[in-house]
Amino acid sequence: MPSPLKNLALTILLALAVPVRAQTGGELHFCLHGEPKTFNPILVDDEASENVRYLTGGVLIRLNRQTQALEPALSTSWKISRDRRTITFHLRKGIHFSDGTPFSSEDVAHTMRLLMDPETHSPTGDAFRSGEGTAQVQTPASDVAVITFPAPIAGLERLFDQVAVLSAHSPKKEMAVLGPFYVADYKAGSYVLLQKNPNYWRHDAQGHALPYIDSVRLDIQRNRDIELLRFRRGELQLINRLDAEQFERLQRENPAVTRNAGTGLDAEELWFNQSPAAPLPASKKSWFGMTEFRKAISMAINREDLCRVVYAGYAKPAYGPVSPSNHFWFNAHLEDPKYDPQGALRLLAQAGFRLDNDTLKDRAGNRVEFTVVTNSGNAAREKIATMIQQDLSQVGIKVNVVTLDFPSLIERMTRTFDYEACILGLVNTDLDPNGQMNVWLSSGENHQWNPSQKSPATAWEAEIDKVMREQATAPTEKERKAKFDRVQQIAAEQQPFIYLINKDVLLAVSPSVGGVAPVVLEPWGLWNVDTLRLGPAPELGAQE
Amino acid sequence: MLAAVCILGGLLSASLVRFSPGYGADERELDPRFSQASVEAIRNSHRLNAGLLSYYGRYLAGAVHGDFGSSEWLQRPISSLIKERFPVTAKSVLLGVLLAWFVALAVSLAGVFFRGFYFDISTTLASGVLIALPAAVVAIFSVYLRAPVFVAIAVVTFPKLFRYLRNLLNHAYSQPYILAARARGISRAKILFHHVLPLASPALFALLGVSLAVAFGAAIPIEALCDSPGVGQLAWQAALNRDLPLIMNLTLLVTLITVAANMLANIAHEGAL
């Protein structure tokens, strides 16, 4: 090739290569696993909308998903009054919404008014509702907002991590945002397209505007196998929360793309129906009400095997309501019970059960047999149920497994109470146990083993009620922690929920995405979306 | 007649949903963040539609005025949901039916023109295999092969169409006057367009109606599996979420289309006779 031509070719090559190598721009592509029900951050209650809210919403205080510490975001500082009813925010100045509308304390007041409106029924707002009455917001200056609640709120500042500030004046209403991206396009059932917010307040250490990525395309894709297929084809760059089987498969093919963020917060659990309204025989009700019975079942379940067989080793045995990944709230002083079928039998014998020809019978001679329900379509839960069936046959208990579709399951759990035992994972998005108030209070709707009690049915439930309430009003986090440690201890002694496992948070990340640091908290691989970079390697496996 | 069938169909689907286990249960009830008052409000929103006949009466009264109600699951007006998604499905179904007809006609005509044992047996086998494939399996294949939704719809519609079409054409070509026309040396095209198709047209029109109904039925599982943002996907999720008003409207829509397609076919049939 003559040299001028060669030079020309080289120049063209370089010109082509530079934009590809550039560390900013590009479109990140991943999937939502359901239709986002709303783009109004106040009404968000599903995971898909939550994802969009995280990527678009600007909040006053951000919970750093990696350090689990609170960091200033739209507020530069905040102060909580001694009675923990009032919080004063000092806001960042010179900030604009994505549509150019200036941001001020009036927007904070507007957001809080909408959020606390009892007619809104916002899960985010309900978390702030600790007493009768509404919150008052004062705006003494354009960069100062003072919010006063009718009653003290435990872990108040942490709740603001969920409150995306809305504009009081923008004609675009909730579509004007303060987060790294804004919703530019949405096709129902198909995709949500987010574009970089040119007015996003954060800059990197060199003063470059964030986010680095120009746009994010979230395809709505329910089928997880198709999602994985598309990832392997290079059409997607990230999958949040793979199941263990998919993760294993991907790891064999290409270990460079698999990322394990560690043990997650969500637990799978088994519980017995202790509701007096349950249409069950008296004998069964009496077993389910016995502490020894529940403890024996817990001891007879081999959790290590569950982790190994059902989750291919990508899970840890769970013994309590708080995952060890929740650094602050986990009670590390509780001893992990051992898998001990002989011990379980001894405990059952103390409670009057006896083993007769490998069949466990109660005092009255009834064979111990129960049915576990779980939701259909969840392969892991179905496997857990089968493993438990085998484990309990070792202590002479016959377990039947029935799967129901989700609405029928909810109907049985909350209305007819027509079930004996249930395996389910109750979602735990919040680090602070105050978010689980409705689970622990005996009057709570989510007190699944015996919900909505007029007065606590047992002494230990009464104690949990008392300690949970004290926890909510204790003046310091340390005291709150001591109270909640006690709740964890009672839960371990009484086993109303028999916790089984905490699964690992598993992701797939294309090597073309730089800066990903997956965490166990929602939104997993995307928590630092504003500092992610897209590089080359469009094909899977092609690494720099 | 049309209206009666639709009203009955709507009532049937409404009763199926209303009396299915878990009607009125909402996943949000398990979310511990909601306060008691909010959970109560969620439950009440479902109770509103719980009385079947009163609901249906109210629905029909609203529908007459163009108000089709709101989806319980997505909390949006149903007319806007359907408006967004119907064009997607209509396009896939129409393209699918067109493709199925094109292939079925081509293969059956090829069979008539080049009568041969092996050709006959292979097309019979192929359509036999296809007819035995459930729509969901076809959908999975189409995802793996990156084929568009309308191709999957065509694959499901084709075998049903093909068998009927082939018999129809074979029958037409075995008529004595066709034989006579061929003996006179009239060109194949002329025989096809002047003698065979006009005679077979009433049956063909009827077949068109049936194939549209088949394609629409296939669109629901195919769209759900391929995540194509059409009415089928919406119907699937509405069923999973026990969304009574949405399922009812979608059933009515599908009933309306099927009945209308069949009626058109009937009219065409009678007109041609």
CATH assignment of the domain containing B254: 1.10.3720.10
Is the confidence at residue A117, as pLDDT, over 70? yes
Domain around B34: 2-64
* Statement to judge: residues B132 and B94 lie in one domain: yes
| In-domain check, residue B71 | no
Fold (topology level) of A58-168 = Dipeptide-binding Protein; domain 1 (3.90.76)
Do B40 and B98 fall into the same domain?
Answer: no
Nearest to residue A137, comparing CAs of A162, A167, A115, A161?
A115
Which residue from B35, B230, B237 is facing A126, i.e. has the nearest CB?
A: B35
Please report the pLDDT score of residue A544 as a whole number: 33
Q: Residue B212's CB: how many other CB atoms inside 10 A?
A: 22
Are B225 and B94 found together in one domain?
yes
Specify whether B27 is located in the same domain as B83.
Answer: no
ipTM (interface predicted TM): 0.83
Nearest CA to A53 among A205, A244, A215, A181? A181
A415 vs B contacts (CB less than 8 Å): 25
B29 and B149 inside one domain: no
Q: How distant, in Å, are the alpha carbons of A14, A192, A544, B28, B109 from that of A536?
A: 14, 24, 8, 41, 52
Same domain, B57 and B129: no
Q: What is the CATH T-level fold of the domain A22-57+179-237+510-544, as seen in this structure? A: D-Maltodextrin-Binding Protein; domain 2 (3.40.190)
What integer pLDDT is reported at residue A2 of this predicted model?
45
Looking at the structure, do residues B7 and B58 belong to the same domain, yes or no? yes
Confirm whether B224 is domain-assigned: yes
B172 contacts B239 by C-beta, under 8 angstroms? no
pLDDT range class, residue A543, cuts 50, 70, 90: very low
Those of residues 187-216 in A touching chain B at CB distance below 8 A are 187-190
Within this chain, do residues B32 and B94 fall inside the same structural domain, yes or no?
Answer: no
The DSSP annotation for A294-353 comes to: HHHHHHHS-HHHIIIIISTT-EEE--SSS-TTSTTT--TTSPPPPP-HHHHHHHHHHTT-
Chain A residues near residue B73 by CB distance under 8 angstroms: 37
Nearest CB to A407 within list B22, B38, B144 = B22
Same domain, B110 and B236: yes
pLDDT of residue A410: 93
CA distances for A543 relative to A189, A537, B25, angstroms? 33, 6, 48
> Is residue B72 in some structural domain?
no
Domain A263-503 has CATH 3.40.50.980: no
Q: Which residue of A has its CA nearest to B42?
A: A121
Set of chain B residues whose Cβ sits within 8 Å of the Cβ of A436: 32
Q: Is residue B130 part of a domain?
A: yes
Q: Look at B27 and A406 and tell me if their CB atoms are within 8 Å.
A: yes
Query: Which pTM value belongs to this model?
Result: 0.87
Q: Which residues of chain A neighbour B83 with C-beta distances below 8 Å?
A: none
Which candidate from A123, A189, A406 shows the least CB-CB separation from B33? A123
Question: B-chain residues within 8 Å CB-CB of A221?
Answer: 227
Residue A143: phi and psi, rounded to 5, are -115, 20
Mean pLDDT confidence for A535-543 = 49
**Cβ-Cβ contacts under 8 Å, B34 against chain A:** 45, 121, 123, 126, 438, 445
pLDDT band at A258 (very low <50, low <70, confident <90, very high): very high
Which residues of chain B are within 8 Å of residue A413 when distances are taken between CB atoms?
30
**Domain assignment present for B157:** yes
Q: Is residue B37 located within the same domain as residue B100?
A: no
Contact (CB<8Å) B39/A445: yes
pLDDT-above-70 percentage for chain B: 99
The interface residues of chain A toward chain B in range 267-296, judged by CB-CB distance below 8 A, are none
For residue A539, the model assigns a pLDDT of: 42
- Tell me what percent of the residues of chain A surpass a pLDDT of 70: 94
Q: Judge whether residue A21 has pLDDT over 50.
A: no
Of the residues B21, B41, B64, the one at which a domain ends: B64
Q: What three-state secondary structure class fits A278?
A: coil
B91 and B55 belong to one structural domain: no
CATH 3.10.105.10 placement within chain A: 263-503
**Least CA distance to A376: which residue of chain B?**
B240
- Runs of H (alpha helix) within A394-536: 406-411, 437-440, 459-473, 477-494
Structure tokens given for A477 = 């986090």
For residue B196, the 8-state DSSP code is I
Give the highest mean pLDDT range of A150-154, A167-171, A226-230: A167-171
Mean pLDDT (chain B, rounded) = 86
CB-closest option in A126, A187, A437 to B38: A126
Total number of domains in chain B: 2
Same-domain check for residues B188 and B267:
yes
Contacts with A127 from chain B: Cβ below 8 Å: 33
Assess if residue B173 is contained within a domain. Answer: yes
Residue A370: C-alpha distances to residues A297, A346, A402 (Å): 12, 20, 11
Position A133 scores a pLDDT of 80
Is B81 in CB contact (< 8 Å) with chain A? yes
Whether residue B142 is contained in a domain is answered as: yes
Average pLDDT over chain A, rounded to an integer: 91
Write out pLDDT tens, residues B169-214. 888 888 888 888 888 888 888 888 888 888 888 888 888 888 888 8
Q: Greater confidence, A496 or B70?
A: A496
Assess if residue B73 is contained within a domain: no
**CA of A402 to nearest chain B CA: how many angstroms apart?**
15
Interface test with chain B among A410, A415, A419, A429, by most B beta carbons within 10 Å: A410
CB contact (8 A) between residue A426 and residue B34? no
Average pLDDT over residues B38-58: 82
Asked if the Cβ–Cβ distance from B227 to A415 is below 8 Å, we say: no
- Read off φ and ψ for residue A118, nearest 5 degrees: -60, -20
Residues of chain A with CATH 3.90.76.10: 58-168
Within the 402-431 window of chain A, which residues sit less than 8 Å (CB to CB) from chain B? 404-411, 413-415, 426-427, 430
Distance CA A157, CA B153 (A): 54
Pinpoint the residues of chain A covered by CATH 3.40.190.10. 22-57+179-237+510-544
Say what the pLDDT of residue A7 is.
Answer: 53
State yes or no: pLDDT of A429 exceeds 80: no
